[in-house]
Copies of this chain bind each other. A is one copy, B any other.
Amino acid sequence: MPTRALLKRLQINAALDADDVETIKALPMAVRDFPAHAPLAREGARSTQCCVLIEGFACRSKTTFTGKRQILSIHIAGEIVDLHGLHLQVMDHDVTTLSKVKAGFIGHDSLLAITRERPMVAEALWRYSLRDAAMFREWIVNIGRRPAINRLAHLLVEIATRIEEMGFAGGARFELPMTQLDIADALGLTPVHVNRVIQELRRDGLLELHKHTVLLPDLPRLKQLATFDDLYLHRSEALSDV
């Protein structure tokens, strides 16, 4: 069931009834496989469908005229990488796979139709896009006001938290198919400096990183270093919903 992860993702933040769930499951979705480093959407393009990650990792990024890339967010299975395209005509950034990816594409027409018929689905999606924005805000704080080590710590803890939230693996060990260059572009640093900061975390016993497997041996201390507060992830708000 390709919509399983998506449903899980939406239900973390919204109370959907059985009919809502059925309607989402029935959405026509084209599933495709992509290799790593493949574009899922490009800046300037007019999208006609939304892209849901079923398996694998992707990131959103912008490249300045001077050729520098800035990664805006990392995405895991269950997440919609371009939901904004539903109401914003043209893509203002790129979406690229980080690993091999299985992705589902849902036409804007069918998605718009269901949002107009089922207000709760519309609100779940709207809320999802608001959480997206909340993560961008924290990303701004991270890049603007935290030194490099703390910045990297925050990125790691955020990803660990989000992976755990979706019920994949434990929070302290996970796959992260990002190169040090990717991490640098995510943090607004250079790859050389990221390498040095990684070594510092290793020395402090806060990070083990072989291949693309991350292990966080002392999550509490890492969270402290990151001054991580998960408020901005707006977890489990469904219960208190109107």
Interface residues, chain A, CB within 8 Å of chain B? Answer: 43-44, 60, 62, 64-66, 68-70, 72, 84, 87-90, 92-93, 108, 112, 115-116, 119, 122-123, 126-127, 129-134, 136-141, 143-146, 187-188, 227, 229, 231-232, 234, 237, 240-242
Contact = CB atoms under 8 A, between A and B. Distances in A.
Contacts of A132: 133
Given A70-B140, A140-B72, A123 B88 contact: no
Copies of this protein in the complex: 2
A100 to B, nearest CB: 26
Nearest to A239: B89
Given A64-B146, A126-B129, A140-B143, 18 more contacts: A62-B137, A64-B145, A68-B145, A69-B145, A70-B144, A70-B145, A72-B140, A87-B123, A88-B131, A89-B234, A90-B237, A92-B232, A92-B234, A93-B232, A115-B119, A132-B133, A136-B139, A139-B140
